[in-house]
A and B are shown apart, each in its own frame.
Chain A
Amino acid sequence: MLAKLRPALIITRREIRDQFRDWRILLPILVLTLFFPGLMNFTAREAVAFVERYGAPIIGDRLIPFLLMVVGFFPISVSLVIALESFVGEKERRSIEPLLSTPLTDLQLYLGKLLAVMLPPLIASYLGIIVYLIGVYRQVGWQPDPVLLIQVVALTTVQSLLMVSGAVVISSQATSARAANLLASFIIIPTAMLLVGESMIMFWARYAVLWWAIFGQALIAGLLVRTGIAYFNREELLGREIDVLNLGWGWRVFWDAFRHRRASLGEWLRAEPWYALRLAALPFVLVLGAFAVGAWIGVQQAQVFILPPGALDLNNLQERLVNLQFFTLDAVPAVWLHNLRTVILATLLGVFSFGVMGLIVLLLPFGLIGYFTVTAARAGIPPSLFLAGFVLPHGIVEIPAIGLAGAAILRLGATLATPASGRSMGEALLTALADWARVFVLWVIPLFLIAAVLEVYLTPAIALRLLQP
């Protein structure tokens, strides 16, 4: 294994040396490693002194670990720039072909580049954390909890891997550095959102939640590395010279996969629903398992976040249901479109996260079901009655529909992470989108419509019958 890795490390060593010869890379790394932590030390000291004057030391207590995370993050942001030009930059400088002509395997070349763009900023990041910790200890005497320190270091590492692996995928698939920079927004925007979320966790001081963030990012980063390796192809790297958005070709690939060589609409309608179900079978089982986990998390959270007594008041249930426009035809399209919107949002998120984020969106309703089942039980409503009254009448149709949508999203994400022999990433993505669209058109849309009718008319009627005091 090590012998196989050795050529990759030769690439890594050369690239790192090259980076250290370029002041445009070196200077930001040095500034972010040595100067920036000092600035954060100053910020921490001043902020702590300021908030203590007004009797709010908690803000200072939360700010110092938050700045620790920020100090770790800034140097790794440089890796994004280096990673984005790792392959496409060499391609533009025409220095890639001699490298491709060596006995290096695709895997060695890819790993060599990946390590080279990740290591210097990451080491700079660790150094920045050390500089910050020394400074903050000397200035305000703060020492981190060892677990928190491990979490911040782990978070910095997975974030770096996440950004770099995404950027290297873009760099190896893009036809120009300009295109790669434009596509970088697919990394920058989710990373910014992640950072906002992590900041909230740091100020909320629920540090245990950070483990979930670390796990989730590690999972997606691992999938991105796998995708990069699966689709890395030296021929593609040399073959594509210009950016061409071939809509006609894209549509043909999608339509051929969607139609699936059926001769007529009748034949398609007869055969494809079952074919779509067969494709979705395994991911459907996985998704149902994930839904069960979602419900379990909801049950757990119900022990932590307890609603005040009387919040689940079933008095005047009929009046309240009528006020919510149940039993009216107008509510049917509203419920139907709401469910479709949610699934489309989950799909969009799933495309950029190998299905993971999409699945999380679909887990939320099950978390809520778990939460409210326990909360209702606390209010004296038996779980079976609550589920039979509020969930099952329409859920019997809606839950399989969500499950099928989740399965299609999971397949879509999995397609990107698995090698498609002889197909480009674009072709594989379009084919997977066609598979998703088939499930959506044949199953999800009609089932959601039926579920919406049931939810508007049948569910409230049963709820009233079973739960009206």
Chain B
Amino acid sequence: MIRAEGLSKQFGDFLAVDGVNLRLGAGEVLALLGPNGAGKTTTVRMLTSVLRPSRGWARVAGYDVRRQPDRVRAVVGVLTENHGLYNRMPAGEYLDFFGELYGLDRKRRRQRREELLAQFGLAEAARQRIGEFSKGMRQKLALARALMHDPPVLLLDEPTSAMDPESARLVRNAIKALRSAERAIIICTHNLVEAEELADQIAIIRRGRIVAQGTPSELKRQMLGPGEYEIRFAALLNGRLKSLPKNVTLTAQGEDWIRFRSATPERDHPDVLRYLLEQDLPVVELREVPRSLEQVYLEVVSSAEGAISDVG
């Protein structure tokens, strides 16, 4: 649904995006992460044919962003970083206006408008001027605008920023529903928990280049090394544990628990458990130590400039 090869954008002497490669199918969500000014918005603008790539190419829903810009814009729903709403316009009229620009007939516009306003809890505010909306309501209305023409591709910049937890949950559920409905979605976000929850793929962009890309678990393995596991015992160890099987590395130890790293848990874990039972150490629990995407992100962005780690 979205494919980009060597996508680059130069503004004068400044290279804003440098050779970005992306591939995203229908029903997939890609989270584009990166510090402010990394090139996320410029990448999205190129994928919506608002900016013309300086080098490289991209196809969105089968259309070339360079040669068929109007077609590309017709099949993409965009939630921009700044909502860009018209304050003096009522919400319903606003959605209707964009629906008309996307070529929807009157009946379809009314149907979509009512569906979306209801979906995002804005039905009662349909006649209210947008200027009177709260930040969260504005964000939801901007998202409704992006969905008005039911596009197969969605590019969402910070979709839940400025929202209360309940509204954010509502939007995340909407994104999950869209993924189930075979939409291809790119999300630019600083919310790493959200990215991990929603995304099938993560791409971390820094100084215009994608420095890490892959599924969340691939990225964790690649950036943070083998997984870490914790075992809790029914009794105190009291120095009874001297070592572990050779394939695993003990990383920490407490009075009634140990942590170890294993590159091949499916093979190592039975060995470890067998060994501990032989030592007469009663195991209560074995679990993976949770590793957050935030650790991955911080590791990537703090790594040396120019280091590219493409594990995708």
Contacts and interface: CB of A to CB of B under 8 A. Distances in A.
Interface in B241-267: none
Given A10-B97, A102-B98, A102-B102, A239 B51 contact: yes
A11 B101 CA distance: 8
Which has the most chain A C-beta neighbours within 10 Å: B11, B84, B142?
A: B84
The listed residue with most A CB atoms (<10 A of its CB), out of B52, B83, B101, B103, is B101
Nearest to B90: A21
Contact of A104 (B51, B78, B80, B101): B101
Interface in A92-134: 93-105
Contacts of A234: 50
A347 B157 CA distance: 48
**Which of A11, A18, A96, A101 has its CB near the most chain B CB atoms (within 10 A)?**
A101
B163 interface: no
Interface in B71-114: 71, 73-74, 76, 78, 80, 82-86, 88-89, 97-98, 100-103
B48 interface: yes
Given A95-B84, A98-B98, A103-B102, A18 B48 contact: no
Nearest to A105: B70
B98 A96 contact: no
A235 B88 contact: no
A22 interface: yes
Interface string B49-73: 0111000000000000000001101
A238 interface: yes
Nearest to A233: B52
B86 to A, nearest CB: 6
B71 A101 contact: no
A101 B73 contact: yes
A207 B305 CA distance: 73
B51 A238 contact: yes
Interface string A1-31: 0000001001100100110011000000000
Contact of B84 (A97, A105, A235): A97
A234 B70 CA distance: 12
Given A98-B145, A103-B101, A235 B85 contact: no
Contact of A98 (B45, B71, B80, B103): B80
Interface string B31-52: 0000000000000010010111
Contacts of B78: 97-98, 101
Nearest to A97: B80
A97 B50 contact: yes
A97 B11 contact: no
Contacts of A21: 88-89
B118 to A, nearest CB: 22
A101 B89 contact: no
Nearest to B89: A18
Given A10-B101, A98-B80, A103 B48 contact: no
**Residue among A14, A18, A93, A104 facing the most chain B CB atoms (10 A cut-off):** A14
Interface in A216-275: 234-235, 238-239
B74 A103 contact: yes
B101 A97 contact: no
B156 to A, nearest CB: 12
Contacts of B97: 10, 14
B13 to A, nearest CB: 10
Interface string B137-179: 0000010010000000000000000000000000000000000
B51 A22 contact: no
A96 B88 contact: no
B129 to A, nearest CB: 8
B93 to A, nearest CB: 8
Contacts of B71: 103
A99 B98 CA distance: 8
A101 B82 contact: no
B48 A235 contact: no
A18 B82 CA distance: 20
Contacts of A17: 89
Interface in A42-60: none
A329 B94 CA distance: 75
Contacts of B52: 235
Nearest to B52: A235
Contact of B51 (A93, A94, A96, A235): A235
Contacts of A101: 48, 50, 73, 76, 78, 80
Nearest to A91: B84
B81 to A, nearest CB: 8
B209 to A, nearest CB: 20
B132 to A, nearest CB: 13
Contacts of B88: 18, 21-22
A239 B85 CA distance: 20
Contacts of B100: 10
B86 A103 contact: no
A102 B73 contact: yes
Contacts of A239: 11, 51
A391 B20 CA distance: 69
Given A99-B84, A103-B103, 16 more contacts: A7-B101, A10-B97, A18-B89, A93-B84, A97-B78, A97-B82, A98-B78, A98-B145, A99-B101, A101-B50, A102-B73, A103-B70, A103-B101, A105-B70, A235-B52, A238-B45
30 contacts: A10-B97, A10-B101, A14-B89, A18-B86, A18-B88, A22-B88, A94-B80, A95-B84, A95-B85, A96-B84, A97-B78, A98-B83, A98-B84, A98-B142, A98-B145, A99-B101, A101-B50, A101-B76, A101-B78, A101-B80, A103-B70, A103-B73, A103-B103, A104-B70, A235-B50, A235-B51, A235-B52, A238-B51, A239-B11, A239-B51
Interface of A: 7, 10-11, 14, 17-18, 21-22, 93-105, 234-235, 238-239
Interface pairs A-B: 8 shortest CB-CB: A94-B82, A95-B84, A103-B74, A101-B78, A21-B88, A98-B84, A97-B80, A102-B101
Interface of B: 11, 45, 48, 50-52, 70-71, 73-74, 76, 78, 80, 82-86, 88-89, 97-98, 100-103, 142, 145
